[in-house]
Amino acid sequence: MMEQRVSLITLGVEDPARAAAFYEALGWRRVETEDQITVFQLLSQVIGLYPKAKLAEDLGVDASSFGPAAMTLGYNVRAKKEVAAICALVPGAGGRVLKEPHDIFWGGHSAFVADPDGHAWEISWNPFSPPREDGTFHWNG
């Protein structure tokens, strides 16, 4: 069962440096940039700026399928097995699994699912950034 929260909003951007400069000009402070993702910690969520082409690759779709904007909503779980458990609920709820649960090279585990309208969610276990007891998410713990 999913808790009612969003951990991470990933925006697929054409030019990560330009996008980061935009948010910084609005007064946001960058937490870090690593492995092509630029991170801004919000009150209890994270905004990540990620190359649109890489986001499409992660989802297993053509980047042109995004239209003018690309975005995924991220839901981080506390245990690796929760990724598969949530994916199992999706088809019965009217959604579809876009990419089955799989291990990621940096040590995490994730899957991509879509709601009935096609909004993409990444269900992810990140051993370096587990959700806190109250459900809040902070980059690197």
HSE-up of residue 122 (Cα within 13 Å, Cβ side) = 24
pLDDT tens, per residue, the chain with 141 residues: 888 888 999 998 888 888 889 888 878 899 888 878 899 988 778 889 999 999 999 988 888 887 777 888 899 999 999 999 999 999 998 888 999 999 999 999 999 998 877 888 899 999 998 898 888 888 887
Cβ atoms 39, 132 nearer than 8 A = no
Q: Which SS3 state, helix, strand or coil, does residue 67 take?
A: coil
Whose tokens are 């899957």? That residue is 111
pTM of the model: 0.78
Task: Return the DSSP state at 130.
Answer: P
Q: Which SS3 state, helix, strand or coil, does residue 1 take?
A: coil
